[in-house]
């Protein structure tokens, strides 16, 4: 359940506006919070997620950096180790790899290597995924790289409400969080979001739709086509949709309890299939609830190829029709 400091006032926000709202709230609440990255200051960010923050909080709190991802994250780690709470933006997930060494060799290990003397209250934000007709290196969904690393939390929200609450939770967390924002739905829809600060707990899934025939697990941008598929199948198949929201740590209890109710499962993600998180979720179900299983777990994913450019992009991403086919395959087994 979310914890809300309620005044009752809300705004009807898009997902990217919810990102900005969370950053604004935490910059105002805690002077140790700062935002840094390429073009996040005067320009307001490539997707305008930081628009207006530079004018309100100044260049010492909203910092334009050189185009050097390793330098951005490395500097932020040093700031975090000495008590600040930096939020580092990487313009696209496909640009995060130069900072990979800083994230996995230093941020993730700082608490362990210092025997608890230092923590690393760092958030690395990055828009991820396809669907916006972007050029090369702009459409990756490689969350598995980071979920494999102990010491990192990986969050992938799907709604404006969850985005604000989870980002506030991430900023307040004492350890590093990779916060992946589904840019395909940055402005796809609006939702009422409380004006005040509230948190959505990291590591807790939510059930978007109750059902009895099959459990479908999703997160981020894939939640909307999954919900559309479930709605299209209404009257034919009773689909339960579980939005993980956080992929590390995974909410194993929610995954298992849903499966024990339905006996069938499908997993939807836009990352490539091989070593994707659908495999990990399948393993959890095999280990924890094998005797409830009535059919093989269906994986509805991207393909094991580089993310394609414009002409083939719609064929790569799982969409409602392909998700419906996968659900039918599992149910009709």
> Which residues are tagged catalytic?
138
Q: What is the rounded distance in angstroms from the CA atom of residue 77 to the CA atom of residue 58?
A: 21
Cis peptide before 249, with omega less than 30 degrees from 0? yes
Task: Give the count of beta carbons closer than 10 Å to the beta carbon of residue 310.
Answer: 9
> Which strand (E) or helix (H) includes residue 241?
strand 239-243
* Number of continuous H segments (helices) and E segments (strands) in the chain: 12, 16
SS3 label, residue 228: helix
> Which strand (E) or helix (H) includes residue 248?
strand 246-248
Q: What is the rounded distance in angstroms from the CA atom of residue 26 to the CA atom of residue 272?
A: 35
| Token couple for 293 | 């299983």
Strands of 73-219, DSSP E: 85-89, 123-128, 153-155, 177-182, 191-194, 198-199, 206-209, 214-218
Q: What is the rounded distance in angstroms from the CA atom of residue 333 to the CA atom of residue 329?
A: 6
| Token couple for 135 | 């050029």
Q: What is the rounded distance in angstroms from the CA atom of residue 48 to the CA atom of residue 184?
A: 14
């Amino acid at each position: 359940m979310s914890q809300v400091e309620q005044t009752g006032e809300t705004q009807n926000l898009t997902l990217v506006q919810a990102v900005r709202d969370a950053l604004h709230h935490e910059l105002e609440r805690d002077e140790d919070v700062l935002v840094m990255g390429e073009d996040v200051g005067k320009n307001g960010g490539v997707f305008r997620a930081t628009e207006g923050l530079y004018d309100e909080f100044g260049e010492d709190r909203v910092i334009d950096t050189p185009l050097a991802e390793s330098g951005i994250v490395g500097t932020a780690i040093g700031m975090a180790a000495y008590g600040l709470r930096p939020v580092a933006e990487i313009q696209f997930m496909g640009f995060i790899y130069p900072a990979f060494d800083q994230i996995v060799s230093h941020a993730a290990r700082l608490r362990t290597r210092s025997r608890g003397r230092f923590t690393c209250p760092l958030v690395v934000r990055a828009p991820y995924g396809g669907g916006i007709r972007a050029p090369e290196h702009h459409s990756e969904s490689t969350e598995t790289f980071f979920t494999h690393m102990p010491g990192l939390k990986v969050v992938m929200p799907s709604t404006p409400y969850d985005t604000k609450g989870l980002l506030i939770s991430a900023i307040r967390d004492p350890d590093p969080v990779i916060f992946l924002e589904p840019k395909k739905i940055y402005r796809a829809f609006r939702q009422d979001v409380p004006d005040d600060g509230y948190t959505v707990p990291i590591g807790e899934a939510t059930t978007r739709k109750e059902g009895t025939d099959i459990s479908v697990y999703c997160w981020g941008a894939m939640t909307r086509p999954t919900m559309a598929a479930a709605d299209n199948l209404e009257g034919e198949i009773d689909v339960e949709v579980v939005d993980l929201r956080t992929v590390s740590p995974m909410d194993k209890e929610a995954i298992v309890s849903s499966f024990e109710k339905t006996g069938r499962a499908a997993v939807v993600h836009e990352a490539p299939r091989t070593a994707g998180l659908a495999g990990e979720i399948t393993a959890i179900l095999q280990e924890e609830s094998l005797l409830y299983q009535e059919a093989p777990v269906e994986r509805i994913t991207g393909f094991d190829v580089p993310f394609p450019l414009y002409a083939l992009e719609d064929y790569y991403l799982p969409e409602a029709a392909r998700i419906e086919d996968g659900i039918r395959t599992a149910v009709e087994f």
